[in-house]
Structure 1
Amino acid sequence: MKSFASDRDDLWQWTSQLGERIGVTPPSEPLHGPYSPQLVYSRHNGPPRHDARLASVLIHLFPHDDVWSIPLVRRADVGDVHSGQIALPGGMIEPAETALDAARREFEEETGVPIDAGQIAGELSPVYIYVSNFWVRCFVSVGDVVTNWSPCDREVAELIFLPIADLWNERMRSTIEVNRRGLEFEGPAIDLPGGRLWGATYHILMNFVLALQAGRDRQRCAG
């Protein structure tokens, strides 16, 4: 078995190819492939409305219980459309703040863990969230073991640590039925111990799976 240091180098090589260099927005078209989510609500893939609100999220890769994992949050019940949902740490971009700075700030506010700029490895394509009119930038970071989690009670009901391998686990996949203002539709989901992961977060993580796989394939071909 490879050491975490060796695996971390591999992950860094793969994730560093996810998008353009930080500060340059990648193409808005998502990756496609066997793990790509189907469009379950027409404009889930954009284009965003002219008045879309800007937000950022962060996928942080770190070793948890001896496996590479991603911290997710189950949103506290604050009365909005995303209350109680499983999501990536993130939130709105404040005035005069870059998308990357917002992703790092929101991650620390929600989890209690700071992310150094040097841990940022790449950026995925942005995602438009139709139901709440958010245009979301998606960053990826890689770090070491974390022991000082301190989630914000006002925003986070629970922290969930998702092993990366579970994103490929077909046995964890399911379908969720959604009712939005009388419109009923189905969407792909992943069943987790803390609930179902679906919607925009599923979309972002499947784009991450495809980008990670593409990076690994390129590395094999180069080798």
Structure 2
Amino acid sequence: MRLPTGKNRKQPWLLKLQQTLGASEMVFPELRHSAPNLSYGRHKAPAYPRARHAANLILLYPSEQGDWTIPLMIRAETEGIHAGEIALPGGRCEPEESAQQTALREFHEETGHQVAVKSVLGELPPTNVWASNHQVRTFVALEDSLPVWSPDPCEVAGLIFLPLAHLMDPRKFGMHQVIRRRVQFSALHLNVDGHRVWGATLRMLVELGEALTSAK
């Protein structure tokens, strides 16, 4: 897949993607396979009454070869329950701040790259991250140029880069075993440069892949 630039940004499939992201509800049966065992569908159930609100951002941009790429971050080992995991840049909403403002602010703070409001295409359905009691809203943005990265070392141990073609390739997926509080269960993961992307982050990425498929 090649990234549309300039006047090509208004081609029909991209407009259809924006419409898909703007839908009030997207239903993709395939997504049931992206959730780990024992999740019991809680990622899509109504949020807990006291769930905290957070937002993150999926940025699509062209690599030096012109292929679509998504930046992911390795959380620093000091980042609580999700320490060391692969995640989308994002964080908790501040008072009087919209979810989109949170997503753009957190992306800038964590990666050092500022994404313009006009680059945001739309939003995926919210995801409940029940392990940390957050409801997360995920926004999707598209840029035409290669970003300059300057990640925050306090929050980010490193950045890895997911080619969009890998997200659309079933051969890049696998299963692994997870142990939480003496309970072992299986989980689907996506291989990215030797790292396993799984859980809520994988679910958000798979939803993007399904939206792109629908937009073709």
Task: List runs of 5+ in structure 1 lacking aligned partners.
Answer: 217-223
User: How much does 1:47 deviate?
Assistant: 2.2
What is the CA–CA distance in structure 1 between the aligned matches of 2:18 and 2:10, rounded to whole Å?
10
Q: Which residue of 2 aligns with 1:154?
A: 154
Identity of aligned residues (%): 36
Match of 1:95 in 2: 95
The residue matched to 1:81 in structure 2 has which SS? helix
Output the CA distance in 1 between the equivalents of 2:187 and 2:33: 12
2:139 aligns with 139
User: Aligned to 1:121, what secondary structure does the other structure show?
Assistant: strand
**RMSD, matched Cα:** 2.2
Q: Please give the per-residue CA displacement for 1:28-75, whole angstroms capped at 9, x wherever unaligned.
A: x65323785245211232222111110001011000132111111011
Q: Does 1:37 align with 2:37?
A: no
The alignment partner of 2:166 has SS state of helix
* 1:169 corresponds to 2:169: yes
TM-score normalized by the length of structure 1? 0.86
1:17: which partner in 2? Answer: 19
Q: Distance in 2 between matches of 1:103 and 1:79?
A: 18
Cα distance between partner residues in 2 of 1:201 and 1:3: 23
| Matches of 2:61 and 2:83, distance apart in 1 | 26
| CA distance 1:36–1:17, shift in 2 (3 Å) | farther
1:35 and 1:46 map into 2 onto residues whose CA distance is: 13
2:70 and 2:162 in contact (8 A); partners too: yes
Hey, what does 2:52 align to over in structure 1?
53
Matched residue pairs, number?
A: 211
SS of the equivalent of 2:125 reads strand
Residue type at the aligned position of 2:115: I
**What secondary structure is seen at the aligned counterpart in 1 of 2:15?**
helix
CA contact (8 A) 1:129 1:136 kept: yes
